Structure formats: structure tokens, C-alpha cells
Amino acid sequence: MKVLQFTIPVPLDKSIIVQRDVLPYFYPHLHRHQEIQLTWIQQGEGTLVADNNMHAFRPNEIYWLGANQPHIFKSEASYFQPKSRKKIIALVIFFNPDGELAGFFNLPEIKMLKNFIQQHQSGFKVPQEHATEISSRMLKVTNSSGTEQLLQFVELLKQLSGYQDITPLASGQKTQQVSEHEGIRIGHIYNYIMHNYDQPITLEDAAKQAHMTPQAFCRFFKKHTLHTFVSFLNEVRINEACKKLTDGTYDNIATVAYTCGFNSITNFNRVFKTVTNKSPSEYMNSYFQSV
């Protein structure tokens, strides 16, 4: 799995690209591109990795990804099964404020929107209480063309810029720029952890995947992810646990803990509180009160 630098194809008569994806699973490689990306998850679930942070994603959630922000929407493992009939559906808007739209964003009347874009280079999730409003705006952009599409696009940005309760997807710290070779290694490690989080994984196991000694692997992983191996593995496991706790398919918290790779409910509760600042029960109560 490579960290790929994409160039989104832009038709000569377009400065805003609208794309509707209907696929067996989301694009499975860590990548980045010059365009800002606004993605409405209409169907599908999994884990979004953006820079040095991860987030469980579900249907009817909307994510803003900054220009050149490394990211991957990693579909659940069940989507990759040979006989799987699952599919993902997403509506995506791409635009490059430094490309064809540069002149537009340099207009003094658009300064507020330009500032908003610059302030959110680390991306964000649209607050769930605003998801219906923003998805409606995205549909208006999708269903229009020419001047009308540009006007609807501006209205979409105006709506987003008015929200005060936006939380970045990633911390202020930026991960190191990586070469293609380093990106392949990081992507391979991500893939290995996300497919095996429910099994015992040691530092030595992960180091072997990167063809490095454990000591060299620790330095490499921390440098490029801002995580220790253990903290990253714990976040993957807790991220999966959050999804399982709220999807209604497991009878109790202990079962979720063991299916996410923890061998002790005490350790699970401790790590869960460290990662989410809530106990599993508090997390469930908070989630179900908000839906």
C-alpha cells in the first residue's frame, strides 16, 4: 500500500469536480492530492486514517480533507471477502484553491472563505447535527452546472465556514514528508495492523513486516506517524471497539474487548478510557443519546 501523490483529472471546462463512487470498497491505498476533498459517506463503514489520527466512519457522515493531507478510507474487512456483496457509496467534491480557482479565492470579497480553508488544512468531520444541511448543499452542487454550480459551491463553503464546533481530524503536528519507499513501508504496516488487530501482534511481528530490527522500526514508526507502535495498535483496536459497541451486534462489553484483540477486560477498560476519555459504558450512552 503506497502513499501515492494523485493528480485529480480536471476537465477544461471545470474547476470543481463532483464524483459519485459506487464500489465494492473504498480505494485501499494511503494517498494524497493537491485538491481539497469533501466526502459524504452514503453507504459503507470502516476507518479513516488522516495524517496521524484515525476515526471510525459510518453512513451519513461528511469529511473535509485538506490539500495534500495523507489519508485512506479503509473499508471494514468484511468488504474484502471474496463473496461479499457489500458496496460503498460516496459523493465527493474536489477543488484546488491554488489551481483554476486561485484567482477567485484571491478576490477581497472571498477572503473569509480563503481564511476558512487555510485554517482547516488538517481536515475535519462535519458536526453530525449539520450533516443533513451540508449533504443537501452538496446535492445542489452536484445537480447544477456552469455559473449555477459555482454559486452553489460558494453557498456550501459559506455554510461550512459558519460552524463554530469544528474539530480537526489530525493534531497540529504534521507527520514527516516521506519518500515513496518509506510510504510503501508505512502503508504495508498500516494494512497489516488493520487486518490483524484482533490477533496478538508484537513489536517483533510488526518489525518483520517492515524488514527492520525492532529498534530501527520503533524510531521509523514514531518519526513518520507520531505514534509509538503500541499506541497506534491500541487506537486501531479501540476504534474498532467503538464501532462494535454501537452497532448492536455484540451482547456485552467483554465480548467486544476480546474480539478486538484485548486479553483482559481490565486492560481494555484502561486503554479505552485513555484513548476516548470515556469508559465503554459512558461512550455507548453518549453515542445513543446523540443519534
Q: How confident is the model at residue 167 (pLDDT cuts 50, 70, 90)?
A: confident
Indicate if 154 and 16 belong to the same structural domain.
yes
Angle in degrees, 0-180, between the axes of helices 146-161 and 131-142, rounded to the nearest 10: 160
Higher pLDDT, 191 or 108: 108
226 domain-assigned:
yes
Query: What mean pLDDT is predicted for residues 53-67?
Result: 93
- Between the alpha carbon of residue 176 and those of residues 51, 68, 220, 226, the distances in Å are 10, 13, 10, 9
Indicate if 199 and 134 belong to the same structural domain.
no
Q: How confident is the model at residue 172 (pLDDT cuts 50, 70, 90)?
A: low
Decide: 66 and 36 in contact? Cβ < 8 Å: yes
- Between the alpha carbon of residue 205 and those of residues 52, 59, 130, 224, the distances in Å are 21, 34, 43, 19
Q: What pLDDT digit, counting tens, does each position of 211-262 carry?
A: 999 999 999 998 888 889 999 999 999 999 998 998 877 889 999 999 999 9
Indicate if 11 and 125 belong to the same structural domain.
yes
CA distance 236 to 230: 10
Q: How confident is the model at residue 1 (pLDDT cuts 50, 70, 90)?
A: very low
The predicted model scores a pTM of 0.80
Mean pLDDT, the chain, whole residue set:
89
Q: How crowded is the C-beta side of 71, counted as CA atoms within 13 Å?
A: 27
Indicate if 77 and 219 belong to the same structural domain.
no
CA distance 131 to 201: 37
Give the residue from 239, 185, 177, 246 showing the smallest Cα distance to 212. Answer: 185
Which DSSP category does 29 fall into?
S
In this structure, of 12-21, 63-72, 140-149, 260-269, the range with the lowest mean pLDDT score is 12-21
Q: How confident is the model at residue 290 (pLDDT cuts 50, 70, 90)?
A: confident
CA distance 247 to 13: 43
Domain boundary among 161, 193, 222: 161
Here the CATH number for the domain that contains residue 12 is 2.60.120.280
Q: What angle do CA 111, 36, 42 make, to 5 degrees?
A: 120
**Which pLDDT belongs to residue 143?**
96
65 domain-assigned:
yes
- Between the alpha carbon of residue 122 and those of residues 49, 50, 100, the distances in Å are 12, 8, 22
C-alpha 60, offset from chain centre: 14
Q: How confident is the model at residue 54 (pLDDT cuts 50, 70, 90)?
A: confident
Which DSSP category does 226 fall into?
S
**Structural domain span for residue 241:** 180-290
169 domain-assigned:
no
For residue 164, the one-letter residue type is Q
Decide: 16 and 149 in contact? Cβ < 8 Å: yes
**H or E, element range at 47:** strand 46-50
Which residues, in sequence order, are CB contacts of 115 under 8 Å at separation 6+? none
**Which pLDDT belongs to residue 125?**
96
Q: What pLDDT digit, counting tens, does each position of 253-287 carry?
A: 999 999 999 999 999 999 999 999 999 999 999 88
Indicate if 150 and 209 belong to the same structural domain.
no
Indicate if 218 and 112 belong to the same structural domain.
no
Indicate if 151 and 193 belong to the same structural domain.
no
Indicate if 154 and 262 belong to the same structural domain.
no
**Which pLDDT belongs to residue 170?**
84
CA distance 105 to 151: 13
Here the CATH number for the domain that contains residue 243 is 1.10.10.60
Query: What mean pLDDT is predicted for residues 125-142?
Result: 97
Got the DSSP string for 227-271?
S-HHHHHHHHHHHHHHHHHHSS--S-HHHHHHHTT-S-HHHHHHH
Indicate if 192 and 147 belong to the same structural domain.
no
**Structural domain tally of the chain?**
2
171 domain-assigned:
no
Indicate if 140 and 193 belong to the same structural domain.
no
170 domain-assigned:
no
Indicate if 29 and 139 belong to the same structural domain.
yes
Which DSSP category does 110 fall into?
G
CA distance 87 to 76: 11
142 domain-assigned:
yes
154 domain-assigned:
yes
Indicate if 66 and 11 belong to the same structural domain.
yes
175 domain-assigned:
no
Give the residue from 228, 247, 250 showing the smallest Cα distance to 46. Answer: 247
